[in-house]
Structures are given as structure tokens and as C-alpha cells.
């Protein structure tokens, strides 16, 4: 393995009623609750144009994931054939970056409420991007 490493830092944190993996839905559209994205004060300028109704992609750091997994049974179903992890969305993967498609329900200063977020309470947020591939920049 190449020994190169890059450091990512949380720009904020998820505040959610989901507190453990057993309880979390597999995907956001399978009954995940609304959750707050709580941004660091230093990120205020970066989030200032996020609006209610915006469809965004949140990238998170799945800090409770197992990073040495390369094959997995999809959806933890032992009867499914084992798949290479890069053909799945399993949280257990070498760089456990979660990708969540959500919509903004409310904005209160540094706190942004989003619909259907399957990330656990306390999950670090790494990035937010517009969903549209035609979006600005």
C-alpha cells in the first residue's frame, strides 16, 4: 500500500435521534428521520447560501465503520452473494465516506435541518454540495 495520507477535518456534526447502527435504516429513503447538520462557526460563510428546499449531497465520515473490509454481503444479508465493497454502499470500506442525498427543511444560523438522513448522531460532516450536476461551479 502506498503510504500517502490526507487529513480531513469535520466542518460540522450530525445531530440525530439515530444512535446505533442496528437502529439505522440502510438508506435514507427507508425511514430515516430528519436530522440537524450543526456547522462549526468558522464555516458560516461557506453555508450562507444554503436555503430551505435545496437538494444537497452531504458527505460524512462514518467514524464507526470498519476500514479493512473489501467484500460484503449486500444489506448484511448472508444469503446474498459476497460482493466487492466498491460495488456496494456498505459503510465498512477503506475510506468510510458516507454520501447522503437530502433536502433542506429549515435553516437556523449554523444549524440546518434535513430530511431522511441515515447518519448516526455525532457523525462528522466533511462536505456539502448541490445535487444538481448543472449546479454553479
- List Cβ neighbours of 55 (8 Å cut-off, separation of 6 or more): 101, 102, 103, 130, 131, 132
- Please, what is the Cα angle at 14 between 49 and 38, to 5 degrees? 40
Residue 105 interacts with a copy of itself (CB under 8 A): yes or no = no
Among the listed residues 38, 64, 101, 110, the single contact to a copy of itself using CB under 8 A = 101
Q: Which is nearer to a copy of itself, 34 or 57 (CB)?
A: 57
Residue 9 interacts with a copy of itself (CB under 8 A): yes or no = yes
Task: Report residue 7 as a C-alpha cell.
Answer: 487529513
114/60 Cα distance (integer angstroms)? 14
43/136 Cα distance (integer angstroms)? 19
What minimum distance in Å lies between the beta carbon of 111 and a copy of itself? Answer: 14
Among the listed residues 17, 21, 89, 122, the single contact to a copy of itself using CB under 8 A = 89
Q: Which is nearer to a copy of itself, 23 or 42 (CB)?
A: 42
| CA terminus-to-terminus distance, the chain | 34
Among the listed residues 20, 23, 78, 86, the single contact to a copy of itself using CB under 8 A = 86
Cα distances (Å, whole numbers) of residue 56 to 40, 42, 49, 128: 18, 20, 12, 7
Residue 38 interacts with a copy of itself (CB under 8 A): yes or no = no
Binding site for a copy of itself (CB under 8 A): 1-2, 4-11, 26-27, 29, 40, 42-43, 45-50, 54, 56-57, 59, 61, 63, 70-76, 80, 83-90, 93-95, 97, 99, 101, 124, 126-130, 133-137
Amino acid at each position: 500500500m502506498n503510504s500517502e495520507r490526507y487529513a480531513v477535518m469535520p466542518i460540522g456534526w450530525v445531530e440525530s435521534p439515530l444512535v446505533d447502527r442496528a437502529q439505522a435504516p440502510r438508506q435514507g429513503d427507508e425511514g430515516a428521520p430528519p436530522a440537524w447538520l450543526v456547522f462549526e462557526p468558522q464555516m458560516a460563510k461557506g453555508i450562507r447560501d444554503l436555503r430551505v428546499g435545496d437538494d444537497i449531497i452531504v458527505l460524512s465520515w462514518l467514524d464507526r465503520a470498519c476500514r479493512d473490509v473489501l467484500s460484503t454481503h449486500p444489506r448484511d444479508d448472508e444469503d446474498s452473494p459476497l460482493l466487492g465493497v466498491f460495488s456496494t454502499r456498505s459503510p465498512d470500506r477503506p475510506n468510510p465516506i458516507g454520501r447522503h442525498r437530502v433536502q433542506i427543511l429549515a435553516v437556523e444560523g449554523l444549524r440546518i435541518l434535513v430530511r431522511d438522513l441515515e447518519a448516526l448522531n455525532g457523525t462528522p460532516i466533511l462536505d456539502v454540495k448541490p445535487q444538481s450536476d448543472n449546479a454553479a461551479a
